[in-house]
Amino acid sequence: MPYWPSYADVSPAARRAFLDWMSTGRRSTSYGIGHVFLCFYGLEHRLFVERDLASAPELIAEVERLVALRTDSDSFQGYAKRFLDAARCAAGIPLPIPALSPERTHSSEMDLGVRIHLGRRLSQSRVLLSEDALVWILALQDVYLRTAAVRCFDEFVTLWHLRFRAKFPEGFVVETTGSIDVRYQAASGAFSVQVEGPHRAYPDILKTTMSPEPLRQLLQDCTDELDSFSRLLGKRPDARNSVQAALMLPADLLSEIGFEALHQFKARLSEIMGGHGRASTKMRTVLQAANFEVRDKVAPGLAEQLSQVLDLVDIAIEPDRRFGSAVPQLDDQVFLFSAPGGGHVDFERPAYRTMKAQVEVAVLAAAADGQTSGDEMSRVIDGIRDGNDLGAIERARLIAFAVTTFNSPPKLSRVMKRLAERSDAEREAIADAALAVVGGSGNVDADDVKFLERLHKSLGLPKERIYSELHRAAPRSDEPVAVSDERREAGIPIPKEVLAPPDDAAGIKIDAVRLARTQRETAAVSELLANIFEEEPAPSEDETPVAFTANGASLEGLDRQHTELLEQVELKGSISKAEFEERARAMKLLPEGALERINDWSFDHFDEPLLEEGDEIVMAPQLRPRLAELRETTT
């Protein structure tokens, strides 16, 4: 039987086959699709030409059965759907409300069910809300969803509702110029009829005078917000409900969908923190609670990811690299405490930098004799609590920083190395602060003096000032005490006291008032100290956490300035040391510190230095391919 059959024109054998198929209940799929079309022509003629509307439910049911039976023919599926829509309209049977789906139809016409559904809405109000606006935009033939919206369709729909309500709080106004007009064109080509029904009174969305462009743009914006999440799922389909995936989704979307992985993570942390809302634990434990992969070394990017996840569950961690602290390794102590949004602070604020610098100096000084005491830590914490210019979150973070820093003091060698390029005034300020902290313990031993001597040597300052400053701070225990009113009588004058030379091996009693005075020194001095005693540089505000959101402007773990400096060397293979230093200073970087920062980063990623220092700054040739590969994976 031909594709476009006519009962009068087919062969006798074809008629016999058609009658056999009809007599057996039209259930066999072994007959050609032409037999099905021949039957279908009769059904559409009966309903639309003979106007047998009373039989409409029966005819609709039969076509639905044939649609389910003959899924092998897309052509029949299309004609049958148009028949079903028109038949329901003619019989006054409501069309099903179309379900939201990322699947696109190949039809050149908007789905009739969408037109009638939206027309019914517009007959009640000319304002479309988020659900109906999305139904409309997805039904447009020239709208195509990108991969992110298709792959993450459930998240896309939820995000659409959030963004639509924010952008169109009163809804989207639609004006039309006419009502819905439905004509049925027979599959046989034999007739075309006007379909009557309640839809004739509904406004037609196809005849709107309003441009849907704002909705198109909103669709694109929502898709853009899901790009990172989609890329993660493309690489790791099993990561959809992971903690890492939570970092890829907007915060308000996370709250809306109730991300289960975050709830589980917070529950595990609550067990660690107990009922106190704080706890001291190992970095390894926190990473395992987040189900992060635990390797031998914690890279800066991984530490930042962990901090960002903790932000989502309102828990702060210290050390936190984002706020100027070092990257804790697996067995390093970390301190967790409850704080809204993860306890963000402006670590560049003078008062905060002041106190943090004092903590770092205090730890170095306290550790000079090889051990730190609880009393020393208590004095530091008391000083933080007494800081009038600090907010509650700042105090909490500084106390946590003090606790972890006392257990893992900064490396003295690294601190000393960073003192070389300071001005005379800066060096004296550093030395004065360190002298005051050492003296604050009330007793200075030989190890403390050695620490101060090493510090002064690194600063290029004379050792003699150590003894004079410590001696000046020492209280006079043999000063005369008045026990009665003075009555002067002539006598032999008392010779002036001769001060004994300082004995650096003996204990010297220090007046704590000097320490208190030094703690109130200018913010400029404390800012200087913070720069020097910082273990690792903190990322700038515009430095992106590169694990999943690299923007091509920086490499994972390096800010834009260090990345650009590295690229200058990479382009040439090597540059003179003078040129390297000039370029570093132009980017407001210390040359030696920049070289060290880049090589520290290289050790994190390649286990060897990337730049070799000499008369020329040379890039290690064996690392060039690996650097290119890393850059490709993070863009």
**By the 8 A CB rule, do 251 and 181 touch?**
no
What pTM, to 2 d.p., does this model score?
A: 0.60
pLDDT recorded at residue 475: 54
* Residue 490 in domain: no
Of 327, 341, 315, 316, residue with least CA distance to 251: 341
122/204 same-domain check:
yes
198/70 same-domain check:
no
pLDDT recorded at residue 283: 92
Give how many domains the chain has, as a whole number.
Answer: 4
pLDDT recorded at residue 261: 87
**Which range marks the domain in which residue 353 is found?**
261-406
280/398 same-domain check:
yes
39/185 same-domain check:
yes
* Residue 584 in domain: yes
Cα(244)–Cα(261) distance, rounded to whole angstroms? 9
268/400 same-domain check:
yes
* Residue 256 in domain: no
Residue 623 belongs to a domain with what CATH number? 1.10.10
pLDDT recorded at residue 552: 39
* Residue 142 in domain: yes
188/211 same-domain check:
no
132/202 same-domain check:
yes
Which region holds residue 332: left if phi is over 0, alpha if psi is between -120 and 50, else beta?
A: beta
Cα(595)–Cα(598) distance, rounded to whole angstroms? 5
88/127 same-domain check:
no
* Residue 483 in domain: no
Instruction: Report residue 16 as tokens.
Output: 């016999």
pLDDT recorded at residue 14: 86
Cα(157)–Cα(130) distance, rounded to whole angstroms? 10
206/186 same-domain check:
no
pLDDT recorded at residue 458: 75
Going through 480-544 in order, the beta strands assigned E by DSSP cover: none
* Residue 401 in domain: yes
* Residue 306 in domain: yes
290/349 same-domain check:
yes
283/168 same-domain check:
no
End residue of a domain, out of 193, 216, 251: 193
279/393 same-domain check:
yes
Query: Tokens 């009502």 map to which residue?
Result: 179
Instruction: Report residue 544 as tokens.
Output: 């992106």
End residue of a domain, out of 406, 431, 448: 406
Of 248, 226, 235, residue with least CA distance to 154: 226
End residue of a domain, out of 375, 406, 437: 406
- The mean pLDDT values, 10 residues at a time, for the chain of 635 residues are 73 88 88 90 92 92 93 90 92 86 81 92 94 94 90 95 96 93 90 90 92 95 94 88 88 84 89 82 91 86 91 92 88 90 89 76 68 68 82 91 79 59 63 68 74 78 78 56 49 52 43 42 36 39 33 67 84 80 84 87 86 87 79 63
DSSP for 343-367? ----TTSHHHHHHHHHHHHHHHHHG
* Residue 246 in domain: no
Cα(596)–Cα(583) distance, rounded to whole angstroms? 15
Residues 6+ apart with CB under 8 A from 568: 575, 580, 583
Sign, Cα dihedral of 70, 72, 78, 79: negative
Of 356, 335, 334, residue with least CA distance to 345: 356
